[in-house]
Amino acid sequence: MELDLLYALTNRSGTQDWHDIMRETRRHARMADELGYDRIWLGEHHFDTDGSDASPNPVMLATDLAARTERIRLGMAAVSLTLWHPLRLAEDLAVLDHFSEGRLDVAFGRGILPIEVMNLNPQANRWNGSDNSREIFDENLAIVRGIWTEDPFSWKGKRYTFPEPGTKFIHSPGAPMPRGWVGENDELVAFGMTPQPFQRPTPPQFAVTESMTGFAHAARNGLRPITWYPSGQVLKDLFETYRAETAATTGRTPALGEGCGVLRLCCIAETDEEARRIAEPGIVEFFEFLCRVRGIGVWLDDGEDPEDPRYREMDPWELLMERDHLMIGSPDSVLERMTRLTTSHGIQNWLLQMGFPGIPAPDVDRSLQLFAREVMPEIRKLDTSLTTAS
């Protein structure tokens, strides 16, 4: 059982100094390291003015946290792969892998907000009906993996050609001539990257997705999926898709839920009532924001019509709690809910976001401690006694 945190740099009021938020992030990362959490995942978000997650460069942030922690793994969830130059990203992640001494995990995504995608790489538009976003993702992923594992490396694709034709190689006297790099007239025909990752052949790789297509794509490309919104039968169907596609690709049929991560909002207090008092205002704001970004359908189960007005009329807290989107309450309540979902869906990797917008840092502290002391030991025991449906 893997028990991870998703960490967001939040500032809902807009009044907190960013450097103070950075200090809180460092402190929470050290706490998570000491309390026994397996990973801390960092997102990539740009131009954040509403205080949801001011984390424009998770690679740099994780480099800082790597120097302040000893055991916990550092995850990117997700690097917006379509918004980076693939060679620069490969280099930055490889250096981070060395700084952390092999504690890096990488989840790739395509970016989710128009303000990010359209201002950093409008060619990766996800909303115009083209296949550009997926094509860019696939080509960039192949380049990152290639330069991580191949020397000499070369590439010719729809958007990139490496090396650039006509590039001359200037060799430093006294250094060994690299094999396979140079062709006629001292022109580069291939090259390599220094350093390659600490973890060989590569750091573990993940994909953040909520769709059947995304889960199938992850399985075919050897990526572990991480998903947030799906619940109930929708979540089970995603797991079955990943399971079937993995079997078709590798010849091995994994257990239901194996390799799949599930993200949930989490807040733990001494009682259910106290946890709701702390979390509900932020939950309602978050619900409304995500409904604007993705539509209310992301919160619903199979067969529930997002056009049905009764879902919009429902209390957001009750709707999300009823569909198991919230791991919020007393330690006993959260343990019961997580145990039920673990056994019904075969969940072996939980990502818990305790610091979502509107939750004060002291309440995040308490959630981290209560979960580690009263919930984590019991959830760990489920790893060898899963009773998942096949």
Domain ranges, ordered by start, for the chain: 2-149+194-384, 152-192
The two tokens of residue 274 are 């106290």
- pLDDT given for residue 347 in this prediction: 96
The two tokens of residue 173 are 């006297």
Pick the CATH number of 2-149+194-384 from 3.20.20.80, 3.20.20.30, 3.40.50.12780, 3.40.50.1980: 3.20.20.30
pTM surpassing 0.85?
yes
Contact of 48 with 54, CB cutoff 8 Å: yes
- pLDDT given for residue 289 in this prediction: 86
Neighbours of 196 (CB within 10 A): 20
Measure Cα distances from 314 to 128, 275, 308 in Å. Answer: 32, 20, 11
Measure Cα distances from 218 to 221, 225, 238, 241, 274 in Å. Answer: 5, 6, 11, 10, 39
Query: Strand pairing of 205-208 and 224-227?
Result: parallel
pLDDT (tens digit per residue) in 78-131: 999 999 999 999 999 999 999 999 999 999 999 989 999 999 999 999 999 999
pLDDT (tens digit per residue) in 11-38: 888 888 999 999 999 999 999 999 999 9
Look at residue 48 and give its three-state secondary structure: coil
The candidate with the shortest Cα–Cα distance to 239, out of 253, 33, 116, is 253
Q: Long-range contacts: 158-165, Cβ < 8 Å, 24+?
A: 159/135, 160/86, 162/87, 162/191, 163/188, 163/189, 163/190, 163/191, 164/188
Q: What percent of the chain has pLDDT over 70?
A: 98
User: What one-letter code names the amino acid at 121?
Assistant: N
pLDDT (tens digit per residue) in 180-215: 999 999 999 999 999 999 999 999 999 999 999 999
- pLDDT given for residue 276 in this prediction: 98
The two tokens of residue 159 are 């958007």
Query: Strand pairing of 161-162 and 155-156?
Result: antiparallel
